[in-house]
A = this chain, B = another copy of it.
Amino acid sequence: MALAYLTRRERFSAAHRLFKPELSDTENFDLFGQCSHPNWHGHNYELFVTVKGQVNPSLGYVVNLKKVSEIIREKVISKLDHKNVNLDVDFMQGILATTENLAIAIWRVLEKPIRETGAELHCVKIKETENNFVEYYGD
């Protein structure tokens, strides 16, 4: 038996804004800087989903990569791509649209369907720009 980690990259282009609704625009700017801009801004987000599991001796893989891709597209990308993270995404309602919170929310959405493939979710990584990324391991 051998334990391997398989990572799939998917992408989504979305608008978002960092702000607390109970604060004024000025107060939000003090907390979140230009990321609080009231008219939104956006990113080409890159999502890296890592699953781990024993390599199936008969099939030679941890899990069918195509299946992993389909789960991510159905549960995550279809809800985020060409959308507004704050306004349109059911699993981000009432949550500050930071990269950290997005990674945690995506973990919660993916954990069960990934487990049903026989693998285990290991890491959700989101690259917001070429200079910033966040990783969440479920802890």
Contacts and interface: CB of A to CB of B under 8 A. Distances in A.
Interface of A: 2-11, 13-16, 18, 31, 33-35, 37, 39-44, 50, 55, 59-62, 65-66, 81-84, 87-88, 95-101, 103-104, 129-137, 139
A41 B83 CA distance: 5
Nearest to A7: B133
A136 B42 contact: no
Count this chain's copies in the assembly: 6
Contacts of A137: 3, 5
Give the secondary structure class of A's interface: mixed
B130 A9 contact: yes
Contacts of A13: 41-43, 129
Select the residue from A13, A42, A65, A81 with max chain B CB neighbours within 10 A: A42
7 contacts: A2-B100, A2-B139, A4-B135, A7-B133, A18-B60, A43-B43, A61-B99
A8 B132 CA distance: 5
A47 to B, nearest CB: 11
B10 A136 contact: no
Nearest to A14: B41
